[in-house]
Structure 1
Amino acid sequence: MTLFDLEAIGRGLPAAALVPKLEAALRSGRRAVIEAPPGSGKTTLVPPTLANVVAAIGPHPGRVIVAQPRRIAARAGARRLATLSGTRLGQEVGFSVRGESQTSRSTRVEFVTAGLLLRRLLSEPDLPGVSAIVLDEVHERDLDADLAFALVREVADLRDDLAVIAMSATLDTARWATLLGEGTPVLSVPMVPHPLTVEWAPAAGPRLDARGVTRAFLTHVAETTARAMAAHPEGSALVFLPGAREVDEVTNKLRAYGIDALPLTGSLGAREQDAALTPPADGHPRAIVATSVAESSLTVPDVRLVVDSCLAREPRLDLDRDLSGLVTVSVSRAAGDQRAGRAARLAPGNVVRCVSQAEWAAFPAAARPEIATADLTTAALTLALWGAPGGEGLALPDAPPPAALGRAHATLAALGAIAPVESTPAANRIEVTARGRALAQVPAHPRLARALLDGAEQVGSTLAAELVAAIALDERADGADLTALLRRLRQGQTPAATRWRQDARRLASLIPPQPSQHDLTGDAALAYLTALAHPERIARARGQHGSYQLAGGTGAALPKGSSLAGQPWLAIADVARGFASDGSGAVIRAAVPISESLALDAARPLRREVIETQWHEGRVSARKSLRLGAIELSSTPVPAPPHAAREAVAAALAHDGLASLHWSPAAEQLRRRLALVHRMLGDPWPAMDDAALLTQAESWLAPELDALASGKPASRLDLHGALQRLLPWPDAASLDELAPTHLEVPSGSRIAVDYPEIDETDAPPVLAVKLQECFGWEDTPRLVRGRVPVLLHLLSPARRPLAVTDDLSSFWSNAYAQVRAEMRGRYPKHPWPEDPRTAPARRGTAKSGK
């Protein structure tokens, strides 16, 4: 049975040469990989080919499902195939995307998004009524598409009758063939590209600044487009920009120049998208200003010129600050080449890149797969529902990064969506709870699903659906004011209003109708649901104007001039990395004021009472704090818990060593004396370095540690007495002989010995004494059983250094004469005998007799 006229559908399409090879491959096996550049017609011709083969092989042919990365591509692909096959959309050819479906019982080819295919797989894993799956544009490495590939591959292993085709526009097909299974053939579409002329048009200033794409650069793109269209009047222009805001701005600028310009983004309604994808009736050239949706999976008619901003918007997860969202980056060269190829599909074309050739050469060769950069919470729930937490055992093109996966599992656990499996010894086994299955029924991020389900009980299902649809919308809120954005959506003052209304109706249909249980309306309702979705983003104002502390731990600031500045509390829907006036490195993109009581109610699981114990300025202190995540609500001093106090003392000692304690002069001297004796004699005398003392702290410092833990200041500790616990008995009795605190000199004075620092292992002990008090002293004193000579600092009567020696006999014989000659005139009242060895030692002057 033949369903589709492939000759009529494929007329003029390079992919027509693929039909016989694909038919042969499908009859010999059920899997294949197709490589064909954008515009070859593979998306149009492969699905009906599959439908015909399936109809010819089996008596009960099922549908061919074509999975696309984006809704706009699924809708456009179905519409184009229906037109070329001469059928009515929704009959033999149909589509199903989020919030919209046109299919019937006679539908044989159905275009869907990868996300919708995932949902069908989770609800009916064996895919009843489906005979073939086409995974289109797998090279884009969309996260949903990667997951769908892995799950479809597992279903195909269990269903011999299920055909699977993966299609890519790049040359990485061998990898996909390996992932699909051994022996999977790779089919290529021969296509000779038309000549493409590349022009470079760098802007005078930067493309990006701390706040995003600069207005000056957008003006440059618009002006470049106008000049290029004037220079190349044949055909239409396709202008690539990173996001909807930039698309709108450049579209308006081009219209101001008198150019027929239409936007093309994923956030537009179906009517606006169709207008951009429909050839103009009068054939007049247009400028289609698009995001990356037009890179490879769409056919934009009559394009002979591409103007590329060379910017793209990609998902990023900042694990350190728990921030996720879209960031603007330079496009990869592979994606840029696909953009450029749109100009040379039908005839010679031109591409103007708004960068220099040197900049282009520095761009990454290919974009990183989304699984490596994005928030994985939704993906982690999908994998857990499939029974393969973390992707274990699946043919994923790339494994999820462990850190991002761990963060996703932590988020799901906090939502009550998953729980550990207690019956298995494996520490990483989890199961999806009933709560998790309920959240998974909502086609949105689990956080938004939580806000919808829990918020409906508080504000009613209709209002909850409207508010969650607004929170989820990828639409820039001027000044980060989410309330103002919602007002514009309700008044239809933004192109995204149509999509918002559709999403709100779809979300409302997923939950039972219920009235509000509380008097939450207006801004309070929006704030409450925002807080339910992102309790960790509840924020309180801090010091600087417009600066906020988030419950999740990071700081963020409002954009300059925001009307929200000065609000004490905010519920934040969107926060991203970027320039912030407070230096936090994060900018609030969408938020709504919230009362403290409502914030505390919405984030009840984050409320906790903690006692923080710390070592500060030589003593242990503790404070009991009431916190909302990282936000301190109140704090009072309390006695430190004993265990925590000991930990604080131990941490201080580990960080600062024994220097964190207060060493009295007597304790310091004892430590230095013992250190010298240990260096000279070893055991049983103990080592005195920090490492040694800390290792055996419990044997000599235990009472003092207990005292510190109880709050006693370090300045009041008796470390001299503590060190004495380390003295070896009975050897301790000889310490004063081995390393005395003082030495008696010939004058009868007892002079303190200055022992070297602990880490000065080669330094000698020092005795600073007036020279006259040493008369009659023949030899240098020695310590530690004669092993260590004392270094004498011989001083003048004014106690200024005259000489330093550890050989007193040599000093009397040699240097003394010169010292005597120089000092006699300066200190005439003090004795300077010719023979110091026989002269009486004196403390005072010669006349005093002392």
Structure 2
Amino acid sequence: MSDVSALPIESLLGEICSVIRDRKRLVLAAPPGAGKTTRVPLALAGLIDGFDELPGKILLLEPRRLAARMAADRMAATLGEKTGERIGLATRIERKVSKATRVEVMTDGLFTRRLLADPGLEGVSAVIFDEIHERSLNADLGLALALEAQSVFRDDLLLLAMSATLDTEKVAGTLDAPVIESEGRQFPVETKYLGRNRDRIEDQMAAAITKAVQAETGSILAFLPGAGEIRRTAERLSGLPASVSVHPLYGALSPREQDEAVRPARAGQRKVVLATDIAESALTIEGVHVVVDAGLARVPEFEPSSGTQVLRTIRAAKANVDQRRGRAGRLGPGVCYRLWDEEETRGLIAAPRPEILNGDLSGLLLSIAEWGEDDPYRLTWLDAPPRGRIEAAREALSAFGALDEAGKLTAHGKAMAALPLEPKYASLVASAASDGERALAAEIAALASEAGVGGSSINLKDRLERFRLETSPRTKALRQQADRWAKGGRAFGDPALLLAKAWPGQIARRRDGSETSYLLANGRSGELPAESAVTLSQWIVVADMIGAAGRARITLAIPIREQDALALHPPATEEWASFDPASKSFKARRVKAVGRIVLSETPLPQPSGEAARAAFINFVQENGFEAAGIGEPVSVFLARLGFLHRSFGEDWPDPDEAQLAATAGDWLAPALGGGKFDMPSDGTVLNALKQSLGWPKAQEIDTLAPPTITLPSGRNAPVDYLDDNAPLVEAKAQELFGLSRQPAIADGRVPVTLQLISPAGRPIAVTKDISGFWSGGYRDMAKDMRAQYPKHDWPEDPASAKPHVGMTKKRLGRQG
């Protein structure tokens, strides 16, 4: 065990304890290696000599199970104990807590469940949000609810937010809290850029690791975006010397496998740890002096239009790659190999995008409703959830029957909220018709929500059978958890029928002419791997799928007999239409279908207005506004909203195009009228968008972000909100004569950029200071213009000249 007295945080512990007791809230910024995770909780709990203990328990929240377990084990070892005594641990599948526990380390998702069950947090003195910079959805929600709990129920509750890379100004401002900053304990790290090539990332990584093994000493920590890349890289490293062992490290591994990756290499050995961003912070891997970074991250993003979560591989943010680099200098001087060129680093975004801005918010909204709040925006957020995503979440929860028209929890919603599951699996368990079905639903929810459990088969039946037989500690813990959700019942029933009853939209039929592509009753489509035995069935029920619309992959499914599917959900006969954007026309047909799965159809000469409107909205939702021919007003409207959001903050929403498309049925459909369908004009679309803001913002947007401004010449000139210099107005110089002050909008907060154009319409000057321009740059410009356009008016004193629309001197003379 290293000497804790040498940790940089030690000299600040007294100040930290004093300030947080006095102010109740505190932000602590401490780089990796400072010791914040393992020393601050012990000081607050009075488990370090010289520090007074708080009367209640200290909760330390971690965003990942591995980080929670390692923090608990390390603190317990500091006290000469095992985890479960004065230092406790609570995760979804592991609990080691006793009456003696003073510090309880838990995952942030579990904290939210605890807070919802006990808003007063009885017996708790302080809550510490560690690694809050990761901005997980659970952490953001937990912090918002904790702030509310402190304000309403517990004014004595202490809240501490701490991180290695923290936007301290933003977090401190949101919490209204003081900031304490600690120095880190960082040794120098040499950075070597290897550049990118067109090889697969696994080949580049394997080559870089091999080079590092030969050129450097010590163990190696390599960062890759996901488990698949880790496995393939490991395969390519089979030729390393026998003295070098390779270990994967990602969330779906068992605790034993994770511990094997993290513990020091054996004497005379070196290790290569292939990790996801799970190893970026909050844990130290002994012996690592070399980092190899692919510079990539895999982030989840929910697509409201498709209802699926997409895992996107993107370039990691600068804050992330800096933290990864720092891992090489935690224990001594180190080296960091980067698989990109040095100049690329300058183009990285500063920090990763918070999950609350990208993710599926249905679970968050369910928790807020359970809290008793029907308006998420009455809570205090580091970043407020986007309104479009909240509306999509509200729609999804309403479809599950979890919310009533007023946004309150129904009885079914309360049963869902009581389960620590994402809403679709909570609804599955809560909607079970018998004890046996509830137990079966709980088993399905347990294995589907925990990666790697029950094997890797796509067939749910195979996964269930293996789940019931596996003996690993993790699987045993999940089975016990499923038993608790089932309230002791014994699993009984047909999984396919259970899923088809609970999720009728997930019933799917194989597309004609395809062996692997399936159309779901909800209109989405997904692909099965060709080698999957599930493809032998024409009808299936999809339990899980990932990927963007049009490219979704079915990851868990079960065959169902056609007669069973049709018996549960008898086909309906309806009129359907489809929109052709090229001809702006429709094709109509009468269909017999289960949801969007067509069993038979008959052509119709033309659709009714109702069918055409539905088809147009559906096309917009699936393909976007540009494809539908109405992209221009939407782009301009979004630019104006973005301008107001930047100018006035959260008071104005800032949706993206995907969010608007997903909710087009709510705001665009009413504007399309009744009777015969006519293509909406730009004005119709714009008016519908404005009305979607509600009163009074529908009126305020034209005042604060006007579509035009009146020039001194009297012309109403359009304001360009899409230009890089937006808001921008283009005008001939003569139209601006006599203007002494720069025009401004947004209640005078933002000056309008003026782009002056020549009589031929070419840009000749840009200014945000018209007064300074008249007395400065105008003189040189006018000299050139007099030579090119001698018939036009170029006065010596434009500030006092009479404005006009750019007429020649001859025409001006006639008017005079």
TM over 0.5: yes
What do the CA deviations read for 1:43-76 (whole angstroms, capped 9, x no partner)? 0111111112999999981100011111111111
Q: What's 1:224 paired with?
A: 208
Q: What's 2:759 paired with?
A: none
Q: 2:64 aligns with which of 49, 62, 70?
A: 70
How far apart are the structure 2 equivalents of 1:593 and 1:204?
A: 43
Q: What's 1:287 paired with?
A: 272
SS for the counterpart of 2:486 is: coil
Q: What's 2:105 paired with?
A: 111
Q: 1:174 aligns with which of 152, 169, 173?
A: 169
8 Å CA contact retained: 1:304, 1:348: yes
Q: 2:555 aligns with which of 589, 593, 607?
A: 589
- Whichever residue aligns with residue 193 of structure 2, its letter is W
How far apart are the structure 2 equivalents of 1:586 and 1:191?
A: 44
How far apart are the structure 1 equivalents of 2:437 and 2:372?
A: 34
Segments of structure 2 that go 5 or more residues without pairing to the other structure are 618-674, 677-816
8 Å CA contact retained: 1:265, 1:273: yes
Name the CA shift for 1:200/1:634 in 2 (closer, same or farther; >3 Å): same
Q: What's 1:302 paired with?
A: 287
How far apart are the structure 1 equivalents of 2:563 and 2:296?
A: 43
Name the CA shift for 1:255/1:101 in 2 (closer, same or farther; >3 Å): farther
How far apart are the structure 1 equivalents of 2:541 and 2:175?
A: 45
Instruction: Work out whether 1:272 is the aligned partner of 2:257.
Output: yes
8 Å CA contact retained: 1:35, 1:168: yes
1:428-577 to 2 correspondences below 5 Å? 430-455=407-432, 457=434, 460-475=437-452, 480-483=458-461, 499-515=474-490, 518=493, 520=494, 525=495, 527-531=496-500, 534-545=503-514, 546-565=516-535, 567-577=537-547
Q: What's 1:366 paired with?
A: 351
Percentage identity across aligned positions? 35
Instruction: Work out whether 1:388 is the aligned partner of 2:352.
Output: no
1:640 positional shift: 10
How far apart are the structure 2 equivalents of 1:111 and 1:154?
A: 22
8 Å CA contact retained: 1:535, 1:551: yes
Q: What's 2:233 paired with?
A: 250
Instruction: Work out whether 1:260 is the aligned partner of 2:245.
Output: yes
- Whichever residue aligns with residue 518 of structure 2, its letter is Y
SS for the counterpart of 2:404 is: strand
1:102 positional shift: 0.6
1:448 positional shift: 0.9
How far apart are the structure 2 equivalents of 1:220 and 1:83?
A: 39
Q: What's 1:654 paired with?
A: none
What do the CA deviations read for 1:224-275 (whole angstroms, capped 9, x no partner)? 21321221123x2112122223333333443553331222221122222222
- Whichever residue aligns with residue 151 of structure 1, its letter is L
- Whichever residue aligns with residue 18 of structure 1, its letter is L
1:806-821 to 2 correspondences below 5 Å? none
Question: 466-475 or 483-492, which moves further after superposition?
Answer: 483-492
8 Å CA contact retained: 1:479, 1:561: no
8 Å CA contact retained: 2:93, 2:474: no
Name the CA shift for 1:535/1:472 in 2 (closer, same or farther; >3 Å): farther
8 Å CA contact retained: 1:448, 1:533: no
Q: 1:629 aligns with which of 567, 570, 595?
A: 595
SS for the counterpart of 1:116 is: helix
Name the CA shift for 1:646/1:293 in 2 (closer, same or farther; >3 Å): closer
8 Å CA contact retained: 1:114, 1:145: yes
8 Å CA contact retained: 1:8, 1:84: no
How far apart are the structure 1 equivalents of 2:97 and 2:222?
A: 33
1:770-849 to 2 correspondences below 5 Å? none
1:592 positional shift: 2.8
What do the CA deviations read for 1:61-106 (whole angstroms, capped 9, x no partner)? 1100011111111111111111112233111111111021111111
What do the CA deviations read for 1:383-434 (whole angstroms, capped 9, x no partner)? 111123352211111111122111111111111111123xxxxxxxx11112
Name the CA shift for 1:470/1:607 in 2 (closer, same or farther; >3 Å): farther
1:122 positional shift: 0.6
1:349 positional shift: 0.8
Name the CA shift for 1:455/1:267 in 2 (closer, same or farther; >3 Å): farther
**TM-score (normalizing by structure 2):** 0.68
1:593-742 to 2 correspondences below 5 Å? 593-600=559-566, 604=569, 609-612=573-576, 625-635=591-601
- Whichever residue aligns with residue 198 of structure 1, its letter is T
How far apart are the structure 1 equivalents of 2:442 and 2:579?
A: 50
Name the CA shift for 1:54/1:281 in 2 (closer, same or farther; >3 Å): closer
1:222 positional shift: 2.5
1:223 positional shift: 3.2
8 Å CA contact retained: 1:465, 1:505: no
How far apart are the structure 2 equivalents of 1:27 and 1:466?
A: 45
Q: What's 2:192 paired with?
A: 199
How far apart are the structure 2 equivalents of 1:35 and 1:647?
A: 54
Root-mean-square deviation (CA), in Å? 3.7
Number of residue equivalences: 612
How far apart are the structure 2 equivalents of 1:638 and 1:262?
A: 62
Name the CA shift for 1:637/1:149 in 2 (closer, same or farther; >3 Å): same
SS for the counterpart of 2:522 is: coil
Question: 472-481 or 294-303, which moves further after superposition?
Answer: 472-481
8 Å CA contact retained: 1:26, 1:53: no
How far apart are the structure 1 equivalents of 2:27 and 2:567?
A: 53
1:608 positional shift: 5.1
Segments of structure 1 that go 5 or more residues without pairing to the other structure are 1-6, 207-215, 422-429, 652-704, 707-850
8 Å CA contact retained: 1:115, 1:145: yes
1:469 positional shift: 2.4
SS for the counterpart of 2:5 is: coil
1:463 positional shift: 4.0
1:171 positional shift: 3.9
How far apart are the structure 1 equivalents of 2:466 and 2:239?
A: 24
Q: Which has the larger radius of gyration?
A: 1
What do the CA deviations read for 1:451-501 (whole angstroms, capped 9, x no partner)? 2344573854554433322322334986855555556656759xxx65344
1:25-36 to 2 correspondences below 5 Å? 25-36=19-30
